[in-house]
Structures are given as structure tokens and as C-alpha cells.
Chain A
Amino acid sequence: MLNKEGIAKRIAKEVQDGYYVNLGIGIPTLVANFVREDINVEFQSENGVLGMGPFPFEGEEDADIINAGKQTITTMPGASFFDSATSFGMIRGKHVDLTILGAMEVAENGDIANWKIPGKMVKGMGGAMDLVASAENIIVAMMHTNRAGASKLLKKCSLPLTGVGCVKKIVTNLAVLEVTNEGFLLLERAPGITVAEIKNATEGTLIVPGDVPEMRI
């Protein structure tokens, strides 16, 4: 079974040379730490920066340079700043190559729920609805089950939706899966995890195509 870093490491392998990438908050943020160093990638943050770098050294924080999580950041050579309408123009206009975000639930038809739990304080969707409705290449980083052990990969989402039919690929602590017309196609198993364990943790339709290889991280 993978931990959060493991999920981030596996997703980092999906990042290709020349990609502009938007990373959500949580596990997706960790992906930046594991992208190969021999490829050129630019990270976009929807509050208005392309070419995000690591956190600043102590004493060099700038209140005017933050990411979408409101954390102080730095920029890389070639970076640029822009306004919010331009930022979402990049996203809506499909100029961003890959979007990686977290989810509370994903359905077998690609629906995603990640912004609201009825009865709890609603903080808002931020940019999530724009991201999922627009991006063509969305990878969801999530735990396969919730803390109570219930599956988060469902036939149908039970929580209010963030977007419909938009998720293409999911990387969890147990598996890599692709969303197809027939359901969740199992592509890879996490180290030490059996197909039976994945089946057991997946409420939605799981398609097992013969031999399922173990992930290489």
C-alpha cells in the first residue's frame, strides 16, 4: 500500500517534458517534489503564476508572491504573473496540459465530488469546478477508501458534484485506474496489494484485464 508520498511519486511519472501542470492542494502539491529533473515542466497556480518554484529561504518570503494555497513561494527563470481571468483562460482554453487534484468521491462515469459535505461548513469550490470542467487530462490523487473503510470509487457519487464525466485517471494508495465507458479499468496494483483487495475496496464496476502489473515507482 502506498502512502501520500508514494501516490505523488507515481503521479509524477505521468508528467512529461514540456507540460504545463496545475497542482491542487494536498497530495497533488507533493507531486512537484518527484518530477524527473531532466525534463522541463512549468507549474501553474491559478491565483496567477506560471513557473512556480520551491518555498523561499527563511527571511526571503514575499507577501506578494504566494500560491493558490496562500503559501509563500518563489518563481523559476521564465516565470510570469497574470490576473485571475487570464489564469482561468489558460485553464478553460485547455492550454494547461495536466491537472492533478484530490477528491472525496469519484464515480465510474468520471463524475467527481470534492467540494462540499452536506451538514458541514462549506468552504467553497475555489477553482475546482473550472479545473475539472475544462481540463482534458485530469488525474485524481486520493485514498481508495475513507477513514471508515468505505470505498471512494463509486457507481455514483453521493456528495454534491464538482464536475460531471471529467476524470480520466485515478491514482490511489492501492491502484492506478482509468475511467472507461464500462467502468474503472485496473491498470496497476500498488506494491504488495492483490487484485482481490482492490476489488474489495472498489464499490464501482472494476474491470480486471487479465494480469495486472505491480506499479513501478
Chain B
Amino acid sequence: MIRKTVSNVQEALKGVEDGMTLMLGGFGLCGIPENAITELVRLGIKDLCCISNNAGVDDFGLGLLLQQRQVQKMISSYVGENDEFERQMLSGELAVELTPQGTLAEKCRAAQAGFPAFYTPAGYGTEVAEGKETREFNGKMYVLEEAFKADYSFVKAWKGDEAGNLIFKGTARNFNPCMCGAAKITVAEVEELVPAGALDPNEIHVPGIFIQRIFQGVDYEKRIEQRTVRKRA
């Protein structure tokens, strides 16, 4: 067994520097690497390019990095829930590259799987395709999209073991598996870190080979963005 465990978030983020490109898992506030974000804020690392489907809310998730002006560029599909984000974008402090959600996921997966680029129909004929190569296959038009190149990938899983194997819960899975192994170094934080052998190999969602560092996360808030309920009959 090849051990991937590090003792805490400080050790897990060693080597992260100003100006790097980071991938961060999560959809809205669901399944985000809360511990890694908190540590990035504490370290004050700046001029970051962040690849993340969303940009958090004003006082949680990636919004915390935006508040401290640590982000220079965001690559996302939807950034609607964040006033500080809007202010920085409109003032030109923050660069934003909006990318269709499926394309965003596939640009991560392509990096993970060793594809330099792929063709997708998403965005053909729109401003997303401007300046990009297009090609017809079987009578339909496609846009060439390139794999991401990132320095670090921060993902969050439900359970993980010492070998870096990961299991996710519910829709907190989202972009996390696509980002594993898609950057030079992938750091996984988990709600429950267990010894190797404690997880059933049949039930692993992401094999440890894609993970360089894994640590036991602490103090998960798991904030709900839209609490919707129904009344009991």
C-alpha cells in the first residue's frame, strides 16, 4: 500500500504559491473543500486562477477567497449568488471565463485521462465558440475544447483511506471525481479517514492513484444554500 496521508491541512497545502491555477470541487456549496479554502485564506496566497463550477456565496466557500482579493481569475459555469464577485467582475478586478457546465467537467476529466482536447456540441454558434476550432461530424457541428492545466486540485470526499481511495456521498460528488488527478497535485480532504482495508474495494468511487495527499478534515459546516422542505401531511 502506498500511503497518501498527511497529518493536517497545513501539510496538505505545502507548495501552493501565488499565481497558481487551482481546481476546487463542489456544486454551489455542496461538496466543497472547506478546509483547503480556509487554509488558502489563512495563507493569504494571491493572484490565483480558480477552476470551480461556482464561486460560493459572499461569506462562505470561494466567496471567502474573493473577499480577501486572492483570486485574479475564475473559470466557472455559473456565478450568480455572490455580490462581492459581481462587484469585482464589473470593476474589472476579477477576470471571469464562463464555460458551459458539461464542458467544464469534461475539461477536468480530459486532463485526468490524458486527452489534450475534445469536441463538444455545447456552445457551437455562440460566443463561447468564438476563436475556437469547429468541425462537423455526421452532419452536426462541434467545438474543440482543450483540457485544463492546473497546479493543484482540491477535492472533498465523504470517506477516504490511507491509500487515497475515495467514496462520496449524494450530490456532494459532482465535480470532485473529475478533478482527481487532473492537476499536478491532488489534495483530498475527507469527513472520515480510515485505515487501508477498511473500505470495500468494490465501492471505491476514485482510486488512490489519482490522489497525492489525503487528510482528515475538521469542523465541516456543510451550509445549505436553498433550504426547501414540504409539510408533513
Alpha-carbon gap, A58 to B224, bound state (A): 14
Inside 8 A of B169's CB, which chain A residues have their CB? 64
Alpha-carbon gap, A160 to B171, bound state (A): 31
Contact partner, B103, options A71, A122, A130, Cβ 8 Å: A130
Inside 8 A of B122's CB, which chain A residues have their CB? 92, 129-130, 133-134
Chain B residues proximal to chain A, CB less than 8 Å: 27-31, 53, 76-81, 86, 89-90, 98, 100-106, 108-109, 120-128, 158, 168-178, 205, 222-232
Inside 8 A of B78's CB, which chain A residues have their CB? 123-126
Asked if A72 and B102 make an inter-chain contact with CB atoms under 8 angstroms apart, the answer reads no
Q: Could you list some 5 contacts between A and B, CB below 8 A?
A: A65-B171, A66-B226, A71-B226, A121-B89, A124-B79
Interface string of A60-77 (1 = CB under 8 A from B): 111111111111110000
Asked if A163 and B125 make an inter-chain contact with CB atoms under 8 angstroms apart, the answer reads yes
Alpha-carbon gap, A63 to B220, bound state (A): 11
* A128 CB, min distance to chain B CBs, angstroms: 8
Asked if A126 and B101 make an inter-chain contact with CB atoms under 8 angstroms apart, the answer reads yes
Alpha-carbon gap, A133 to B223, bound state (A): 33
Inside 8 A of A34's CB, which chain B residues have their CB? none
Inside 8 A of A111's CB, which chain B residues have their CB? 125
* A168 CB, min distance to chain B CBs, angstroms: 15
Asked if B77 and A124 make an inter-chain contact with CB atoms under 8 angstroms apart, the answer reads yes
Asked if B120 and A124 make an inter-chain contact with CB atoms under 8 angstroms apart, the answer reads no
CB contact under 8 A between A85 and B98, given known A65-B170, A134-B121: no
Asked if A56 and B229 make an inter-chain contact with CB atoms under 8 angstroms apart, the answer reads yes
Inside 8 A of A48's CB, which chain B residues have their CB? 27, 171, 173-174
Asked if A70 and B229 make an inter-chain contact with CB atoms under 8 angstroms apart, the answer reads no
Asked if A133 and B121 make an inter-chain contact with CB atoms under 8 angstroms apart, the answer reads yes
Asked if A46 and B101 make an inter-chain contact with CB atoms under 8 angstroms apart, the answer reads yes
Asked if A57 and B126 make an inter-chain contact with CB atoms under 8 angstroms apart, the answer reads no
Contact partner, A72, options B173, B178, B229, Cβ 8 Å: B229
Decide if A17 is an interface residue (CB 8 Å cutoff). Answer: no
Asked if B125 and A164 make an inter-chain contact with CB atoms under 8 angstroms apart, the answer reads yes
User: Main secondary structure on chain A at its contact with chain B?
Assistant: loop
Chain A interface bracket (under 10, 10 to 19, 20 to 34, 35 or more): 35 or more
Interface string of A30-49 (1 = CB under 8 A from B): 00000000000000011111
Chain A residues proximal to chain B, CB less than 8 Å: 45-49, 54-73, 81-85, 87-88, 91-92, 111, 121-130, 133-134, 160-165
Alpha-carbon gap, A83 to B123, bound state (A): 21
Asked if B224 and A61 make an inter-chain contact with CB atoms under 8 angstroms apart, the answer reads yes
Inside 8 A of A124's CB, which chain B residues have their CB? 76-80, 98
Inside 8 A of B222's CB, which chain A residues have their CB? 63-64
CB contact under 8 A between A125 and B224, given known A47-B27, A84-B105: no
Alpha-carbon gap, A110 to B174, bound state (A): 31
Inside 8 A of B77's CB, which chain A residues have their CB? 124-127
Alpha-carbon gap, A67 to B105, bound state (A): 17
Asked if A125 and B100 make an inter-chain contact with CB atoms under 8 angstroms apart, the answer reads yes
Asked if B170 and A83 make an inter-chain contact with CB atoms under 8 angstroms apart, the answer reads no
The interface centre, meaning the residue of B78, B86, B126 with most chain A CB atoms within 10 A of its CB, is B126
Contact partner, B226, options A65, A70, A130, A134, Cβ 8 Å: A70
Q: Please give me the residue from chain B that is nearest to A130 by CB atom.
A: B102
Contact partner, A84, options B53, B90, B123, B205, Cβ 8 Å: B53
Inside 8 A of B53's CB, which chain A residues have their CB? 84
Contact partner, B229, options A58, A91, A126, Cβ 8 Å: A58
Inside 8 A of B81's CB, which chain A residues have their CB? 70
Q: Please give me the residue from chain A that is nearest to B125 by CB atom.
A: A164
Asked if A121 and B125 make an inter-chain contact with CB atoms under 8 angstroms apart, the answer reads no
Asked if B102 and A57 make an inter-chain contact with CB atoms under 8 angstroms apart, the answer reads no
Asked if B229 and A129 make an inter-chain contact with CB atoms under 8 angstroms apart, the answer reads no
Alpha-carbon gap, A204 to B172, bound state (A): 43
Asked if A58 and B231 make an inter-chain contact with CB atoms under 8 angstroms apart, the answer reads yes
Asked if B123 and A47 make an inter-chain contact with CB atoms under 8 angstroms apart, the answer reads no
